[in-house]
């Protein structure tokens, strides 16, 4: 197993419904974004079920 060099991204804040739209448009199983008011980094991801759980960072 090998760790490859990281990719760096700048996230634009978007509201919570927009990531749901984006995750359907992209070929990935996850979408990373920041919320414009609370600013945590959030990872929305697809599961086998029709639900979309998310992981949110804390400081």
Q: Read off the pLDDT of residues 11-54 as tens digits, 9 standing for 90 and up.
A: 789 987 888 888 888 888 998 998 888 778 889 998 888 888 98
Give the pLDDT confidence score for residue 40 in this predicted structure.
84
- The number of beta carbons lying within 10 Å of the beta carbon of residue 42 is 19
Whether 35 and 19 have beta carbons less than 8 Å apart is answered as no
Give the pLDDT confidence score for residue 5 in this predicted structure.
94
pTM metric for this prediction: 0.73
Instruction: Check whether 4 has a pLDDT greater than 90.
Output: yes
């Amino acid at each position: 197993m090998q760790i490859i060099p990281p990719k760096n991204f700048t996230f634009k804040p978007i509201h919570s419904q927009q990531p749901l739209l984006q995750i359907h448009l992209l070929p990935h199983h996850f979408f990373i974004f920041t919320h414009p008011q609370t600013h945590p980094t959030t990872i929305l991801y697809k599961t086998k079920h029709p639900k979309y759980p998310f992981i949110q960072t804390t400081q």
